[in-house]
Structure 1
Amino acid sequence: MEKTTQLSVMGGGLVGCLLSLYLAKQGYRVDVYERRPDLRRTDINSGRSINLALSDRGWRALETIGISEDIKKVAIPMYRRVMHDKNGNLSFQPYGQEGQAIYSVSRGGLNQALLDLAEAQPNISLHFQQQVMEVEVASNKVTMLDTVSGQEHQIQPDVIFAADGAYSMVRLSLQKTDRFNYEQSYLDYGYKELTIPPAADGGWKLEKNALHIWPRGQYMMIALPNIDGSFTCTMFFPYEGEPSFQSLQTSEQLEAFFQEMFPDAKDLMPDLAQEFFENPIGSLVTIKCLPWRHSGKILLVGDAAHAIVPFYGQGMNAGFEDCTVLRSLLEEHQDDWETIFQTFQDVRKPNTDAIADLAVYNFIEMRDKVADPRFLLQKKVEAKITAQYPDAWLPLYSMVTFSPDIPYADALANGQRQEEIMRALMAHIETEEDYNKPEVQQYLQEHLA
């Protein structure tokens, strides 16, 4: 049955579209406002990552609206990390157990599929090139700018869902209210997108079903596969210092640097200099705030509530999980928006704080530790523990990525406990065979059995 409450979703990106579909399925009329043009008719990548890592929390959300199988047809499973050293030698680390993978998906392709689904719903209206200027929090009156005509106009929905990203204008209005806590933290690193094009036969020049990492201590580059045979490379690099984006000013400097640090990748990147100097530098920000809600009339979701850096591949997945949680609360509490919003905030805030902290930690791991033989040995030992004690030990990465029933906060707490155990164990281990030492087995028996 269609409901009379008028809902507005600010933001027509991945989270905004998915949320609008959930709301429509509950019988609400939903207006979606997006400041950019319709990406199905305009190329608006503007330097943003064109592919993302989709894992189990995201898949769960897509399954509930019936498009997971369609997305899997254009997603590439990545079963392991492949680390490239400065000499082009490779080492490997599986992501999970046999058959488990994260998936490289096109941001634009996924967004287009969600927009198509939203447009097909009779109670969803899409409005493009409509920018939020200000929200009058007391009345829910929103001043909008039509970026085509340059004219301002006002809307006054009953309930506003702010899915308008890390630089949310709705959140900015809430920040002006009393007792609103806001924390913003940038890494001293930016990122730049580069490309490894397809091979002449249309195939992939690197292992297709893997996420490739070039860890270099204080910086790194990664590459994710695309359906067309190309790889999207992302270089995470300091803004200033030596080396940095600031220090690489000429093609000669760039070529010499890549030849020294990423020689096997450089040979596969014919447009390196053009892309490096033309593509924008993106920033890496973590945002935490509270409250996410106001008077049962406004709710922040996705990056507007909890922007995180991309190093656990969970930004989109966490946003999609927001929608999954909201969906169950909508079914349980119907039109009791105050209860829905308060419960949502209580449930999600500790978990999004946890994944934000984990994402920063994982940057250090990917940038530095994955090139450390001791770290790789520890991961092999952890795999042996998982096989021996499957009910008592699940690696942190698997808890976050492949176990959607484990909240992020619980995964973080379990991971910290496991790290204490590993520190004690690794004092007795120099090789994989040392795992069978009596003192190692006795310690595991005491702590896990």
Structure 2
Amino acid sequence: MPTSPAPTTTRGAGSGGRRPILLDVAFLRLWTGATASGLATWALPFVLGLAVLDRTLGATDLGLLLAARTIGFLAAVPVAGVLADRRSRRKVVLWAGLASGAAAPVLAAGLGRSVPLMAAAAAVAGAGQGACRPAYQALTAEVVDAGRRQQANAAMTLAVRVTTLVGPSLAALLAVFLDTAALLVGIGLLWLVAAFVPGRGARPGVTGGAGGAGGAGGAKDAPGTSFLADFGEGVREARRHPWFIAGLGALTAVIATGYSATGVALPLVSRDEYGTEVVLAGAMTAYTAGALAGALLIARWRPRSPGRAALAGLAAYGFAPLSLVLPVHPAVVMAAYAVAGVGIELFNVPWFTAAQREVAPDRLARVSSLDFLLSYGLAPLGLALIAPAIEAFGAAPVLVACAFTCFAAPAAAALVPSSRGFSHRPAAEPAEARATGATR
């Protein structure tokens, strides 16, 4: 691997990092498409939940549809990672958006008529959602120069958080005027925006990539190799970066435990300990507001040891389950979730930026797919296990175990030497600052 990064200059990169990222037309198109896909991804389970409220769907049917969507998502992520490295990332985004867009009216057509038809459409929609994730991550590295990727990733995650914050109110308002079928068709239109609006990125050359591997588009891989062989190349690339393996292990542990505590224990505690849903709603709103603040902070902040700072942010999620152990004032629970929200974005943005900088360009989509596959793939397992664990051992011991895992896993990852800067390079200065001449 090279000892210093070669900055990738792409369209709109002539500003040297001083031009606001959202004034770059190429990135603005990418950001708009990614925001539309994020809004559509969030909206589907919410709109299907509205169908349960108006009794068009049963609760069991909703569970089946969400399970089908998850299966489609997990099945598509590794396939999309390979395709996005073999071929054009832009085409993967296009076909992923078209698949999810086509599934939405099928869901609407099956509503109240055929649950199997809806389950098949939900699986296709999930596949589109899963396919676009690694492709968007890799496309960001093509569209944005190295010195502005942290700002770009912060803008991406900021859009997601704003969507999460205002989305429920917007959907509820639209539901006053539109039925569930019309809302599902609207989700399909969002996917068409995600498919068609982003532009084509400028692929890095053979010699210009981080990690020193072959050129873009899978040129290093032998033509005609199997999917498993190509995906194995991505796994081997991930293993070349100890900081990535350590960080992914920590992230997976936090999502499988901390997120599970939020998904299962927080509603139970809100109901049983506080007797109101206000604590649940307040904690989730505080988490989203904290994430917004974290994204704004990390867009500008360049810590001296970015990897360890990011892992400390990830560990902050442990305060969320810890706040549910003892009967405390609801404000304490909300404050803990706000801290967790800040911390998760202090991790997410440097994590994505480091992968775009350090991973070989022709394998970035596959490494990103491995990230999503493990971190998101094991989340349902945690959700499935935490409720029986609470029944068997009680809420307090399970929540303490979740909090301990959230604190301990990032701390263990931080012991890996290259985790200090999420880089194999020994210098503490962020690589993108060296690449562009920028200062902290």
Instruction: Classify the TM-score, shorter chain.
Output: under 0.3
Task: Between the two structures, name the one with larger relative contact order (CA 8 Å, sep ≥ 6).
Answer: 2
TM-score, normalised with respect to structure 2: 0.27
Higher strand share: 1
